[in-house]
Amino acid sequence: MKKVILSLVFVLATGMSFMNANVINGKEKDLQVQDCHDVYNRTRDFVYGMTGSLHIGITAAIAAEEACLNEEEELTMFID
């Protein structure tokens, strides 16, 4: 089973990832699509809670999830 050190990402609206913004420190974990869903949910709730705008929260979360999924592809390629 492929293992990676997973760093969940908090990403910028346009898709740039801030690596290690949300870190599961030092724990090895299988990288799964569900992790990016978690990034989506956490980003949405955090940004919504900071701005009071659901629209801004969801926009940031969509970008975060997309960047997370891209990150996952890169990690998979790297492991291969």
Chain residues in the site for other proteins (CB under 8 A): 10, 12-16, 18, 20-23, 37, 40-62, 65
CA geometry: angle 13, 29, 50, nearest 5 deg: 30
Write down the least CB distance from residue 62 to other proteins, Å. Answer: 7
Q: Which is nearer to other proteins, 33 or 79 (CB)?
A: 33
Q: Which of 2, 3, 15 is nearest to 70 (CA)?
A: 15
Least distance to other proteins, CB of residue 18, Å:
5
Closest CA to 67 of 28, 35, 30: 35
- The residue (of 66 and 75) whose beta carbon lies closer to other proteins is 66
